[in-house]
């Protein structure tokens, strides 16, 4: 069995912070879409892409799990209850 990877898209600001290792959590509104990808699922990594094009930069980071909660304002959390995806170190880069 291969590496199980959650694939998400980020804007440049957050992508750069994740890629540098500065941002260690990703926040998402608790929509049916994101919950359907997390609940009852197991991942090894998260692939973040900065855009939707074939040549959009990508970074793969270790997946450390998820929880419901609030996060840090400097990492984009607005104080509302969010899905918090916990991230590990960078595993690879891609384009």
Residues 6+ apart with CB under 8 A from 40: none
The span from the CA of 9 to the CA of 14, in Å, is 10
The yes-or-no verdict on residue 95 having pLDDT over 70 is no
Owning domain of residue 41: 5-94
The per-residue pLDDT for range 33-42, each reduced to its tens digit, is 999 999 999 9
The span from the CA of 22 to the CA of 15, in Å, is 10
Averaged pLDDT, 42-59 = 94
The yes-or-no verdict on residue 1 having pLDDT over 70 is no
The per-residue pLDDT for range 56-90, each reduced to its tens digit, is 999 999 999 999 998 888 887 888 899 999 999 99
pLDDT given at position 14 = 94
pTM comes to 0.89
pLDDT given at position 93 = 86
The yes-or-no verdict on residue 94 having pLDDT over 80 is no
* Average per-residue pLDDT for the chain: 92
For the domain that residue 33 is a member of, what is the CATH number? 2.30.130.30
Number of domains in the chain: 1
């Amino acid at each position: 069995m291969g590496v199980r990877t959650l694939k998400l898209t980020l804007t440049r600001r957050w992508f750069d912070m994740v890629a540098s290792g500065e941002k260690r959590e990703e926040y998402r509104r608790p929509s049916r879409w994101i919950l359907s990808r997390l609940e009852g699922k197991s991942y090894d990594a998260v692939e973040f892409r900065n855009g939707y094009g074939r040549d959009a930069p990508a970074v793969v980071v270790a997946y450390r799990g998820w929880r419901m909660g609030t996060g840090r304002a400097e990492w984009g959390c607005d104080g509302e209850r969010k899905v918090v995806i916990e991230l590990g170190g960078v595993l690879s880069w891609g384009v």
